[in-house]
Every structure is written in structure tokens, then in C-alpha cells.
Amino acid sequence: MALTGRQFTLAAGDHEATVVEVGAGLRRYAHRGVDVTLTYGDDELPPKGCGAVLVPWPNRLRGGRYTFDGGGYQLALTEPAAGNAIHGLGRWARWVPVRHEACAVTLALDIVPQTGWPFELRVEVTYRLDAEQGLQVTAVAHNTGAVRAPFGAGFHPYLSTRGHEFGEVTVKVPARERIVVDESKVPVGRQPVAGTPYDLRRGRRLRDLRMDDGFAGLSSAGGRGAVEVRTRSGGARAWFDDAFGFVQVFTPDPVAGGPAGVAVEPMTCPADAFNSGTGLIILQPGGSWTGTWGITPLVAHRRPRAVT
């Protein structure tokens, strides 16, 4: 068996995807046989959060500590070098398949009370392929406990650069503000992107710009925001509904020694939201939250033939 457990394959038209049992992550998404997102092998764990579901919080909590409704809590430091708790409690759990059909799968996880987390949530994530629109992902969180609970969600797909180096890649981010962080990568303020290298609102070739940055003040159209990653060989658009008010963009060294990819992470809140309260969702007993995002492949722009 693969290190990520059962593999759930999906197909619709020219689209294919693989979703994994461990972490309910997106292992692969391809269109016409070409990878739209980065993938990894059966004998590997997801490198650098590749395809991960980030619940009940995305990104980092400073020192793994927070207070809520008068109680103080300490979570395990899952980013020990920086002293943070990172990316929630669902990444290394076996999620339970609820439904699996040719073009869709739903996986569920009960996040039970544990050290640093005295709450009860059930999270369901549905991946669905559409022959015309591509990949759609819907997440639902239910508070199944007797007390209210803090909550945040995020997702961590890497959009493929189609074999191109970062310097050849154009990224478009519809954000007015960049989140400024300290040495622990925890927010300490915001900066307008206007007049800085991080103004990607009209699309900008990365050249020597490398990022692990959160963005806020997102613009949307028709209730959706979108980040685009383009190359001369094609690209992808990661879109998200208004449930996601923040996005993280990460340009690491090639994942698992393979091709380069740009992580585009829709988030309901930025890092350390359990402490700052920024974007924090409070789920009442019996209450729920839902959010939807997806990926649409972008074809290469062909140059017009010269007229002779």
C-alpha cells in the first residue's frame, strides 16, 4: 500500500485526479495527460504540504499556544525549528471515504478532543471533476461538540510550471496587501503591494522573486477570487469562493527533487488567527461552515501565424 493509504482515482472527460486517504490530500490532477498540479510517488509522504488539507487551522500558530473562551492551550510543535504548530490536525490522519464514484470522492474526519484541542469537529472534503470546468473541491465543517470551537481552513495545491524555471513563470494574485511576518513566519502587520515587487494584480513574471507570503484584500468577481500561474506551455487558475479571504503563495525549491511548482493556498484566515482573531471562524455547537475552491487548466497561448 502507498504511504498515503488508499488512492481514489477520479476521471471526467480529459481530466484525471488522485485523492489519498491519509490527509485527504490531492496527490495528482492532470488534464489531457499533462500534470496541472505537482505529484509525488507511492513510496513518498507529501513533500512540503503538497496537496494537503489544512484544518482546523491553516499555516502557523506561534509557539503552538492560544487562548479561547478563557482557556489557555498548548499544541504540539509540528514545526519545531521555528517553534510553531503548523497546518492543523488532519494531515497525517486516515480520512474515511463516505462516497466514491467515477468523477467524485468525499472523505471525512472526526477531529476528536486531544492535548491542546478540547473541541469536536467533523470535516468532510469532496473532490469532483467536471469535463468542462476541471476540479472543484468543497469542504464542510460541523461542530459536533457541546462548546463553541475556533476554526480555520486552507488547502495546499502546487500548480505545475510545466517544466519551466520560476524566472519564466507569470503569476497573477488579486491582492491589495501583503502580510508581513517575523523570523518565525508569524504575521506582524500588513503592507500595501502597490509600488512593491509583490504587486501581482495584473500578473508579473517572477524572474528572481521568491515567495512564502500571505496576501489579503483580495478582489473577486461573481463571488470568486483567482490566482493564475502561466507559462508559454500553459498553466492553471486556482479559484476560490468568498469563504476564503486570504491566500498564501509559496515558491520553494523543486518539490521532491522534481519540477518546480507554485503553491497557491486559499485560506479562511492568515497564520496565527487563533491568537489574532483575524478571519477566525467561531463554530457554535451544531453550527457549520462550508467553502469551495477549484483549479481550471489554462491552455498555452498560440502565436498567430505570420501573414505572407
What is the pLDDT, as a whole number, of residue 299?
Answer: 87
Question: pLDDT at residue 303 above 50?
Answer: no
| Cα 257 from Cα 278, distance rounded (Å) | 35
Question: pLDDT at residue 74 above 80?
Answer: yes
Fold of 7-163+253-298: Beta-galactosidase; Chain A, domain 5 (2.70.98)
Owner of C-alpha cell 524555471: 165
**What are the helix and strand counts (H, E) for the chain?**
1, 27
- 236 burial level (CB within 10 Å; 0-12, 13-18, 19+): buried
- 108, 249 contact by CB (below 8 A): no
- 188, 181 contact by CB (below 8 A): yes
Tell me the pLDDT band of 253, cut-offs 50, 70 and 90: confident
β-strand 96-101 against 71-74: which pairing, if any?
A: unpaired
| Cα 26 from Cα 244, distance rounded (Å) | 18
Owner of C-alpha cell 476521471: 11
Question: pLDDT at residue 307 above 80?
Answer: no
| Cα 279 from Cα 123, distance rounded (Å) | 19
The 10s digit of each residue's pLDDT in 21-63 is: 999 999 999 999 999 999 999 999 999 999 999 999 999 999 9
- pTM exceeding the 0.85 threshold for the entire prediction: yes
What is the pLDDT, as a whole number, of residue 49?
Answer: 94
What is the pLDDT, as a whole number, of residue 308?
Answer: 33
Cell numbers representing residue 278 in the block:
483575524
Domain locations in the chain as residue ranges: 7-163+253-298
What is the pLDDT, as a whole number, of residue 304?
Answer: 40
What is the pLDDT, as a whole number, of residue 206?
Answer: 95
Question: pLDDT at residue 107 above 70?
Answer: yes
